[in-house]
Amino acid sequence: MMSRMHGLFIASTTMALTPLVGAGTQYTFSGAGGDIPDGGDTPGVFAAEFEVPDDDIISTLSISIEGLTHTWAGDLTVRLTHIDSDRTGTAFARIGSVGGGFGDSSNFGGDYNFGDAFTGDLWVVAASGDTNFVIPGGDYFPTELDSGLIAPFSISFGGESMPGTWRIEITDSAAQDTGSFTGWTVVFTGGGTPTLCGDPDSGSCAEPNGTPGCNDFACCNTTCAFNPDCCDFEWDEFCAEIAIDLCGIYIYQCDAPISANDCAAGATEVFVDDVVDFDSTGANTDGPPQPECGSGAGFEQIDSDLWYYWQSTGDGVFTASTCQLTQYDTKIAMYDLGDETPDTFDPNTLPDRFIGCNEDCGDEFFASDLQVAVESNHNYLIRCGGYSGASGPGTIAFSAELFPAPDECTNGGDDTLTQSNSPAATEGTVACAGGGITTANNYARSFVVPGDAKGTYTLNCADFGFTNSGGALIGAVNVYEDTDGGTPTAPGTDLVLLGSRTVTLPGNGFLGNLIAAFDPPIAVAGGTVLVVELAIPASANGFASIGGNPDGETAPTYIRATACGINDYDTVASIGFPDDNWALTLLGVLGGGGTCVGDLNDDGAVDGSDLGVLLGQWGGPGSADFDNSGTVDGADLGTLLAAWGDCP
């Protein structure tokens, strides 16, 4: 489905409330709804405050939003805040938005209830439909921003004192899509345990700390429900043992290693393109269970594991594989140590450092192939073990595709072509995405080169806008000749490739301008219709799109995204995003239309630079097709060599 980002606008509404005290330990408060202010440059906010007089301890709570109608569900966030303690709980936040992405395009239309005991997954339901899918009203568990993971209200408010001022907010974070709701209800459940749990100063739940409770709220409550003395008197060694067992706390232990790299601290350093033989027979298992490997319940552990260590020198994709190399059933996992090394990091933190796992490589069962996005100057642990106790001899291969360094434009030229009223990228745009993660998207602009067929335009660089909330990607800036003009269709139809430049597309929240420096430069005749395209591959974990700005454009921006059914180029305006645009400037040299055959860059001489342009166009169309045969070939090379030297 299509997603996008726009600006924000702030507004506030305060409602008069009537508390409705329920029976037993339930306390109900409700209020009227209204229009939700539309977002713009800053968020639009509907807010209502209410006072809770009841002296009780919160166990949990639920939030209901009645009669909610709003297009583009990914715009909205519902939060509840206890102003006195500044604690906040989230019912949902920008469904489908990951790392600042544009969110899910489904619509709200019904009554929606959020509570810890409910099992509905709002993110999954929203992603199950296409654009304009109406999310059914019903009961859903609360979810957090960026991931859609459950965010229990009991974690935010459990054990807290109920009295005080509360504020419920519905926030619209983007422009254009609007909506309203008829009312809201908050139901508190009292009788909770006073906050001895979750205090960061009380110490780890896995160790005795001499005080009641421990620093992990959920684990503390679970342990104290089993043994109240742990919260009433002291968190002693027995409480720590209970917590380790009940909460699944990982405690690192490496006993009787068969080799140095049988323990994480003794990991063997490896390098790109290393192929390493190993034998895990008799190795101990010291790493944590990793259900992310997809092995199924009861088979989460990676048994008889051996460890390897790799230092990344750039952003890119790292691969560790036993495919076609090992005969027993392997698993491979990776952990990010940051700037620490195997002998300096705390192995008890391994679960928090996990970044990826693979059990089987494609259709080949047993062997494993793990590919993980990596960052420059990070250190990584690679863990190779077995499924369900499997071990034995084998071979593991390591490789990496590191992204090229960013281009610089050292010879751009004074003649620019642009359709952007401002060259700087300051905001993201529309993209095809699912669950807030973008699929492959292609964007383009079409230019008519000034002058006539005797003139030339030598394209040296493209300065383009881009944004990416996820990991870095490898994309391409492609330059085509549009053989029939007008709206471009697609490569292989009316677009003939003249040249291409592989570019690194940075991530981690990047928003700005990048350079594609063409080598060799792309020379075309005056009057040629050039289509310049940015090809962005699918992201694994974020939202990547072209970068634009609010200043507009003089000609349309085009998009092609097959995953969203846009198989041929179409304008972004025609799919509902008239304000989106691509900041793109072409830098080059415009020739004067002289008669010196072979002077492709119009510098007054036929020389090595022109030969490089010709060779770069070899086998296809281009400005070096002197005999207009449709292909740059040996005949054109002969023409150029015959004209070698200064132009007359």
Predicted confidence (pLDDT) per residue in 436-490, tens digit: 789 999 999 999 998 876 667 889 999 999 999 988 888 999 999 999 989 999 9
Q: How far apart are CA 23 and CA 438, in angstroms?
A: 48
- State the Cα torsion 427-431-433-439 to the nearest 10°: -110
Residue 453: the pLDDT is 65
3-state SS assignment for residue 347: helix
Q: Does domain 2-189 have CATH number 2.60.120?
A: yes
Contact by Cβ (8 Å): 470, 507: yes
User: What residue type is assigned to position 136 of the chain?
Assistant: P
Question: In angstroms, what CA-CA distances link 193 with 196, 510, 621?
Answer: 8, 44, 77
The Cα angle at residue 533 between residues 542 and 492, in degrees rounded to 5? 115
Domain 415-590 maps to which CATH number in 2.60.40, 2.20.25, 2.60.120, 2.30.30?
2.60.120
Contact by Cβ (8 Å): 303, 387: yes
Residue 11: the pLDDT is 31
Contacts of 18 (CB under 8 A, 6+ apart): 30
The per-residue pLDDT for range 173-189, each reduced to its tens digit, is 888 889 999 999 999 98
CA proximity to 464, closest of 450, 478, 480, 481? 478
Residue 5: the pLDDT is 38
Question: In angstroms, what CA-CA distances link 316 with 471, 503, 507, 565, 621?
Answer: 9, 12, 11, 29, 34
Domain ranges of the chain: 2-189, 260-402, 415-590, 605-646
User: What residue type is assigned to position 399 of the chain?
Assistant: S
Residue 593: the pLDDT is 45
Below-50 pLDDT ranges, the chain: 4-24, 592-594
Residue 50: the pLDDT is 95
In the block, tokens 């040996």 appear at 634
Q: What is the CATH number of domain 260-402?
A: 2.60.120.380
3-state SS assignment for residue 418: strand
Kindly state the helix (H) or strand (E) to which residue 527 belongs, with its residue range.
Answer: none
Residue 396: the pLDDT is 98
Tokens of 374: 């990596």
Residue 23: the pLDDT is 33
Phi, psi of 363 (to 5 degrees): -80, -5
Angle of helix 217-226 versus helix 237-247 axis, rounded to 10: 110
